[in-house]
Structure 1
C-alpha cells in the first residue's frame, strides 16, 4: 500500500502550543479562538464584506475604480507578515446543519469531494485576506485588491472516506509570497470518534490584482518567524522552480524523449496485424480499449449564482464540476466505485464570464494496472462570437480495486495526450518518468 503522508504538516511552535498540533500529531484541543473564522458560510460573507461586494447580481457590477487610489505604490508601505499572521481555520458543520449536509452528501453516503474542493478554493482566498495588511487603510474602506486562483498543485488524499455527518475543518496559511503572487496551503480534517483526522492537503498559487482586476498589485512580503517557517518558505521557492521547469518540459514545448517515442511505437505495434503487414488494419489488444472510447462530455450554462466576488465564474465551482465529471467517467468505465487518489494539477489560464457556456470534456489518457489518469478540459463558448477558448485543465488519478483496461491511443494527437497523462501520473506517484523506476510513497511537497 502506498504511504500517502510521510509526516503531518507542522507550522510553528506557536501553533503547537495553541493546541492545533501536539508532538507532530493532529489533536482535538481547542484552536486559538483568534484563528477561528467560524463556518464556511461566515468566511464567504466576510470576504464579500471586506471587498465591498454587492450581494445581488447586476449586469453592471459595482464600480471599484475609486479603490485604486488606496492601492500601495511601494513595497515599503507594506509591513512584512509571518505565516502565523495568516493561519486560520473554519468549519463545515455537517454534524449539526442538515441543510448543509444535504448539499455535501453523495448517493453512496460519503461526502462530495467536489464540494470540498470548492470550499478549499474559497478558503484560500480568505487566507489571503488574513495575510494582507494595509496599515493606512480606513477599516470602513473595502480592500483594494482582487484575488485570483492561478493553479493548484498536487492534492493527495488519505485512505479515509469522509463521512457526511461529521464536521470538517479547513485550516491553512500563506507559505510563500512573491511580489504579487502568494502560495497558500490548505488542509482538511474531519472529526472522527472525537479526533481530527487528516483528509487532504493542497497548495494554491494565487495572484494579487488591483481593485478592477486590470493589473498586478504588490502584496505584503512574507518574513519567516522561525526555522520551521524558513523551511516551509524554502519549500515554496522549490515548488516555484519546479513549476517553471515543468512548464519548460511540457509536451507543447519539448518533443517526446527517446524512451517515450519507443514506448509509443511499441504500443502502436501491438495494434498492428503483423501477418498482413498493413497500416490500414488495426486491432485492439486483449484487455485494452481505444482512448476515443474512454471519454465523457458535459455542457453547463453558468448562472449568476456561480459567480465569484468579481462577477466571473467562481474557480471553485469549475473545480467541482470538473471533478464530478471525471468521477462520472471513471464510474461508468469501471462499472463501480473508484477512489480519487490525487489531483495532479489544476490550471486557470483565463477568467470565465458568467454568461459562458461551459463545455467540459473528460478523457482517460493513461492507465497503469489499477490506476486511471483522467484529464478534464474546460472550454468556454461565446455564442455571439462562436469562439471556443480553453480556460482550465484538470488532471485526476483514480485507483480501482481491480485491474483496469489499458487505454490505447489511435492518432498522434491521442498519443500526445497519452504521454502527457503518463508524465502527470509518474509525477503524482513519484516515479522516474524516463526509466519507470518506482519510488515508494506519495508525499506532499515539503
Structure 2
C-alpha cells in the first residue's frame, strides 16, 4: 500500500474590514483621523450613497444624537431651487472598479443600485432645503413618502460616464417634491439626441424628530421660467393626489361596476371550468414570485430604519425576475409607476416581498407592456401579525433583441380570480389613465408619465458629489 502524503500545516487566513473604522486613526496621513459616527450606515450601501452621506455628515451629526431638549426649527427660510441643487458623477469611463460595481449581466447599469442612489440623492437634496443650519435647534425628520414617477427613456451604458442631478421643485406645508434627472451622452459622438436618460420625482414629508408630528418646511422661491413651470406642474400633481384620496374609491365603486364584473367573469372561467379557459390567458396568482429577508443593521439609514433605497432595489430585482419568468425572455425596464412608503421598516424586521403581473397592455403587438406589482409586508410571527409596509409598481416590455430570436412570441393576458385582485387592477389603471402621455425613445412607446422640461440648469458635476 502506498503511503498518504503528510498533511500540510494548518494555515489561518486573516480577514480584515475593507472599510476604515471611524473610531480609529486612518491609515493614510492625508485622511481625517476620525470620521463622524453618522457615516457608518452609508458604508454598507453603494459608493454613491456613501459619498452622499459623507458629504452631508455635518447635518447628520445632529441627527444621529439629537438633543430632544433643544427647541424645534421655528424660523422658516425662503430658498431657491439652486440652494438644494446637487449633482453626482459616475466616472465609468476611467474608474474600472466603479464600473464593475454597477455592471449588470448585460453590460448595462444595474438598475436596482441606481434606484438606491436616486433615493439617497433625493434625501440629500431634501435635507439641504429643510435644514436651518442652526446647531441649537433639533433637526427635522425627513422620510420618503412616495416616488411619484420614474421614466427611463433609453438604456444606460456602464462604459460611459453618467450624471445624476436634481433639486427641490415644489414645497407644501410639510411636504416637498424633488425632481431628479439621469443624463448620459450617446457613445456615438455624431448622435445629438437628448442626453436625459431617466427622470424621477420623489416626495418627502417632514416630521418633528421628537413628537413625530408634521412640521413646516422652508419655503421655495422659483426664479427661472423653467423652475416656475416645474413648480406649477408639481402643484397640479399635488392637487390631483388630494382629489384622488377623496374620490378615487367612490369613482371605482360608482362607475366601474360593470368593468369589475367583466374582469371577474374571465377569471371565473379559469376557476370553475379551466379546461375551457383561453390558453392565451393566465390568472394573476399564477404569475406570483416571493422572497423574504431579515432586515440587518447594514441596511439601515441614518435614522436607524431600513434605507428606502435598499427596499426599492430589492423590489425592483424581484419585479424584474417576475417579468422575466412571465415573458419567457429578457424584460426591458421602462418605468417606476409609483412607490408608496406606508410605514417604516426597522432593523430586525421579517420582511416579505410578494410580486405578480398585475396586468398587461397591448397598445402594439410588437412592444407589449408588462405591469408588475410588488408589495412588502412586515411580518411578526410571534404576534401572528403581518402589516403592509410598501407598494411598488413597475412597467417592463420585452427587449427587441431577445424577441427577435423567438418566433411566434406572444404575451399572455392576466385576469383576476378574486374581487380584491380586480379592484387592484382598476385602481392602478385609473391612476395611470390620469397621467399625461410620455413617449419613450427607448422602445418607441407611449407611456404614462409626468410632464417635465429637459435639462437641469446650472448643474455641473466633476468627479464625485457637488453642491452638498
Same fold (TM over 0.5): yes
State the SS of the aligned residue for 2:79: coil
Aligned twin of 1:154: 149
The answer as to whether partners of 1:65 and 1:212 remain within 8 angstroms in 2 is: no
Aligned partners of 1:64, 1:335: CA distance in 2, in Å? 51
Aligned twin of 1:287: 280
Aligned twin of 1:51: 60
Aligned partners of 1:294, 1:318: CA distance in 2, in Å? 21
1:187 aligns with 2:181: yes
The answer as to whether partners of 1:52 and 1:142 remain within 8 angstroms in 2 is: no
Aligned twin of 2:215: 217
State the SS of the aligned residue for 2:106: coil
**Aligned-pair distance for 1:392?**
0.5
List runs of 5+ in structure 1 lacking aligned partners. Answer: 1-37, 55-61, 432-438
- Give the alignment partner of residue 257 of structure 2, picking from 255, 261, 267: 261
What does 1:169-188 correspond to in 2, within 5 Å? 169-188=163-182
| CA RMSD in angstroms, aligned pairs only | 2.9
Aligned twin of 1:445: 451
Q: Deviations over 1:278-327 (max 9, x none)?
A: 99435421311111101111101211111011000001111111011000
Aligned twin of 1:122: 120
**Aligned-pair distance for 1:102?**
2.6
The count of aligned residue pairs is: 381
The answer as to whether partners of 1:89 and 1:171 remain within 8 angstroms in 2 is: yes
Aligned partners of 1:213, 1:120: CA distance in 2, in Å? 28
Aligned twin of 1:26: none
1:411 aligns with 2:442: no
Q: Deviations over 1:45-69 (max 9, x none)?
A: 1234421179xxxxxxx54134x62
- Give the alignment partner of residue 80 of structure 2, picking from 79, 82, 86: 82
Aligned partners of 1:53, 1:399: CA distance in 2, in Å? 45
Could you tell which deviates more after superposition, 242-251 or 345-354? 242-251
- Give the alignment partner of residue 161 of structure 2, picking from 156, 161, 167: 167
Q: TM-score, normalised by structure 1?
A: 0.77
What does 1:381-420 correspond to in 2, within 5 Å? 381-400=379-398, 401=400, 403-420=410-427
Aligned partners of 1:272, 1:386: CA distance in 2, in Å? 31
Could you tell which deviates more after superposition, 77-86 or 328-337? 77-86
Q: Deviations over 1:419-440 (max 9, x none)?
A: 2343344346749xxxxxxx95
The answer as to whether partners of 1:149 and 1:207 remain within 8 angstroms in 2 is: yes
**Aligned-pair distance for 1:204?**
0.8
**Aligned-pair distance for 1:398?**
1.3
- Give the alignment partner of residue 230 of structure 2, picking from 229, 232, 238: 232
Could you tell which deviates more after superposition, 416-425 or 312-321? 416-425
Aligned twin of 1:423: 430
**Aligned-pair distance for 1:111?**
1.4
Aligned twin of 2:44: none
Aligned twin of 1:242: 240
**Aligned-pair distance for 1:216?**
2.7
Could you tell which deviates more after superposition, 306-315 or 366-375? 366-375
Structure ID, larger Rg: 2
The answer as to whether partners of 1:375 and 1:421 remain within 8 angstroms in 2 is: no
Q: Deviations over 1:94-136 (max 9, x none)?
A: 333333333322112211111111111110111123323526x
Aligned partners of 1:42, 1:142: CA distance in 2, in Å? 26
Q: TM-score, normalised by structure 2?
A: 0.74
Aligned partners of 2:203, 2:173: CA distance in 1, in Å? 13
Aligned twin of 1:331: 324
